Amino acid sequence: MRHRTWPLPAYYFALLALLYLPLAILLLFAFNSGTILVFPLKGLTLRWFGQLFATEALMRSLRNSLLVAAGSSVVATALATCGAIAFVRFRFKGKGLFITVALLPLYVPFVVLGVSLLLFFSTLGVPRSLLTIGAAHSVVSLPYALLIVTARLVGFDPHLEEAAMSLGANYWQTLRRVILPLIAPAIVAAWLTAFTVSFDEFAIANLVVGREPTLPVYLYSQLRMTSRLPLVVAMAAVVMVGTLSIFLALAWLRRILASTPASAAGATSALTARA
Amino acid sequence: MSAIPPPPAVRLEAVSKRFGEHTAVETVTLAIAAGEFFSLLGPSGCGKTTTLRIVAGFETPSAGSVFLNEVEITERPAHLRKIGMVFQHYALFPHLSVFENIAFPLRLRRTEGGDMRQRVSHALEMVRLPGLAGRMPAQLSGGQQQRVALARALVFHPSVVLLDEPLGALDLKLRKAMQLELKTLQREIGLTFVYVTHDQEEALTMSDRMAVMDRGRVLQVGDPRSIYERPASRFVADFIGVSNFLPGRVREVGVEATIELDGGAVVRAGPEQLTVGQTVTIAVRPERTRLAGAPGEATVGPEGRWNVLPGVIRELIYTGSDTQYFVELGPAGVVMVRVPNDTPPEGRHQARPGERVWVRWEVGSTAVLLA
């Protein structure tokens, strides 16, 4: 049996290389003092990071992205939480349709969504701005948030709510004292996921963008100028480190979700799928 | 003994519950007295839990009315009923400590801090868990969690406590100990308990009265003794304990009823509401039957008269405390005779498979069931 197992480690390392080598090269070039991205490196420098913060347009696009991500993730998470509670705890007509419609953005290519949103906004005469991007991002990150919160709700004992009611809690008290505290980790996880979905979304943003670009849109526009390339690389490195922190936060939340009795295996796998 | 009976704590009047095509509860009428330990007993799917949930307010009946202390509460939401509930899987709030779990109903009622602490610790003492207030539910054993759930259901002084198979998730030994403890606690505080279980032994042990349910209907209500000794139907006789069933036909009615079994043997039963020619089934508990080596020995009963039937031992099983004999009575069928192993010598018959014996039981121990 032993001689047959060698493909497994080889496969594993090939996978690792494919995943992380480009990232490692990116990190490396972020510190390259030359302006052309070729080996060997000319020297090491932190210059690009300094320029990064000095480039006002870039900082503006970063601020725009953070604003859009913050706004759209809050909207998506709030809608997803209400939707998940309705979907898991209540019986109502058209529930199946509701779920399908809410999850549809997962299956529609973002380019298609972007074009249709562009048509939609221009037909209605809505001026394109950060708000239109935010609205679009709320729609596309909703399914992720919905799945995460739903998985958590499905995982916990519905008798908890009945217990609260038998003890004298009305619906709002039950929501505030029992349901929300129990699904809080899932809400945070949903929010972080929605945030990252919005933050690195390019296809839609590029179509419905107004005068203010988001970071991915701005970075793409800069790629055409070779002199700007080191800046783009440095920015990508910064974003990567930021994303990694969010990923670690999600991993930590996953452990909380798994360790509380109301743990939902589904939420964990939903997060894994996203991460 | 002629005192006016107290008004019922819980009363159901022709309550039905349908889920689509399926009828879970079918015109159930019950009156549960204040201070009573009342059990709803039946196999899974018999409607006992749905009945309990209707009393709790988690289900709205499709028809009928529910009364709490003679006030109609059919439409009253669960959180305004002031009825305690203990769930099978405890339903403790996992994000709250033992103290906060028990204090939950008190906080909702804005109980003042000192008073609240006192009532929580009193409740913990009542369920014999002092000193665990700071723990989280996940750090407790199943038995301890169930005690916390009970303390939480008692602490706000509900007028009725509903228990839905509360011991179902515990192992047998712990369950037996908890049965006794629950019963003692209930008697001490004098609260009305409505207890759902599928375990007939548990219901017999703990209840003041019980209702046996099947397919959404209440088949019989009574104290454990009358249900066990006087089952009203074959289902009840079969579900509660073990019974021997022998089919027959009524031959005479009067001070006693005479029933002819298949094959011609005749047994007698107490005065029953029967008509001559009716097809019936007689039920006899195995522990009420005896074995004898001769009919003469059998007919000389110490008190009362006996039914005596000849048979052949087919099988005997030693079970420690007693021995079970399976005796074939010819066409009438096979009966199980349970003889305690400590029975004094004159009642003990050392018998072997194949031996001819006489099975006897008191006329008064014969239950006659319609069909």
Chain B CB contacts of A170 below 8 Å: 77, 79
Q: What percent of chain A has pLDDT over 90?
A: 28
Q: Is A251 left (phi over 0), alpha (psi -120 to 50) or beta?
A: alpha
How many Cα atoms occupy the beta-carbon half-sphere of B365 within 13 Å?
19
- With both helix axes pointing from N to C terminus, report the angle between A130-155 and A265-274 in degrees, rounded to the nearest 10: 150
* Residue B352: predicted pLDDT: 81
* Residue A274: predicted pLDDT: 38
A228-249 burial, b at 16+ Cβ within 10 Å, e below that, comes to bbbbbbbbbbebeeeeeeeeee
Helix or strand run (H / E) with residue A243: helix A229-259
Which of B73, B76, B100, B108 is best to mutate for the A interface (most A CBs within 10 A)? B108
User: A165 CA to chain B: closest CA distance, Å?
Assistant: 5
Distance CA B218, CA B212 (A): 6
Q: Is B89 on the interface with A (CB under 8 A)?
A: yes
pLDDT band at A243 (very low <50, low <70, confident <90, very high): confident
Beta carbons of A167 and B104 less than 8 Å apart: yes
User: A199 CA to chain B: closest CA distance, Å?
Assistant: 32
Which of A89, A156, A157, A167 is best to mutate for the B interface (most B CBs within 10 A)? A167
| Across B11-22, average pLDDT | 93
| Across B16-26, average pLDDT | 92
- With both helix axes pointing from N to C terminus, report the angle between A130-155 and A56-89 in degrees, rounded to the nearest 10: 40
Beta carbons of B95 and A157 less than 8 Å apart: no
Mean model confidence pLDDT for chain B: 88
Return all residues near A62 (Cβ < 8 A) that are at least 6 apart.
A215, A235
**What order do you get walking across the sheet with B257-261 strand by strand?**
B266-269, B257-261, B244-252, B279-284, B367-370
Chain A, nearest residue to B86 by Cα: A163
Chain A, nearest residue to B161 by Cα: A166
The closest CB to that of B58, out of A162, A173, A181, belongs to A162
Q: What would the pLDDT profile of A50-62 be if each residue is shown by its tens digit?
A: 888 888 888 898 9
The closest CB to that of B93, out of A168, A173, A178, belongs to A178
Higher pLDDT, A98 or A5: A98
Chain A CB contacts of B84 below 8 Å: 166-167
The closest CB to that of B89, out of A157, A169, A181, belongs to A157
* Residue B170: predicted pLDDT: 85
Q: Is B108 on the interface with A (CB under 8 A)?
A: yes
Chain B, nearest residue to A157 by Cα: B91
| Across B178-197, average pLDDT | 93
Mean model confidence pLDDT for chain A: 83
**What order do you get walking across the sheet with B63-68 strand by strand?**
B22-33, B8-19, B63-68, B71-72
Q: Is B166 on the interface with A (CB under 8 A)?
A: no
Is-contact B209 B195, C-beta < 8 A?
A: no
Work out the angle at residue A86's Cα, subtended by the Cα atoms of residues A81 and A92, and round it to the nearest 5 degrees.
160
Is-contact B232 B76, C-beta < 8 A?
A: no
- Strand B37-41, strand B289-292: pairing: unpaired
- With both helix axes pointing from N to C terminus, report the angle between A56-89 and A229-259 in degrees, rounded to the nearest 10: 30
Chain A, nearest residue to B164 by Cα: A159
Higher pLDDT, B47 or A49: B47
Residue B296 has pLDDT above 50, yes or no: yes
Q: What percent of chain A has pLDDT over 70?
A: 91
Among A31-40, B100-109, B135-144, B237-246, which is the least confidently predicted range?
A31-40
Q: What percent of chain B has pLDDT over 70?
A: 93
Q: Is the reported ipTM for this assembly greater than 0.90?
A: no
Q: What would the pLDDT profile of B142-170 be if each residue is shown by its tens digit?
A: 889 999 999 999 999 999 999 999 998 88
Is-contact B339 B291, C-beta < 8 A?
A: yes
A253-to-A28, A193, A246, B170, B339 alpha-carbon distances in Å: 31, 12, 10, 32, 63
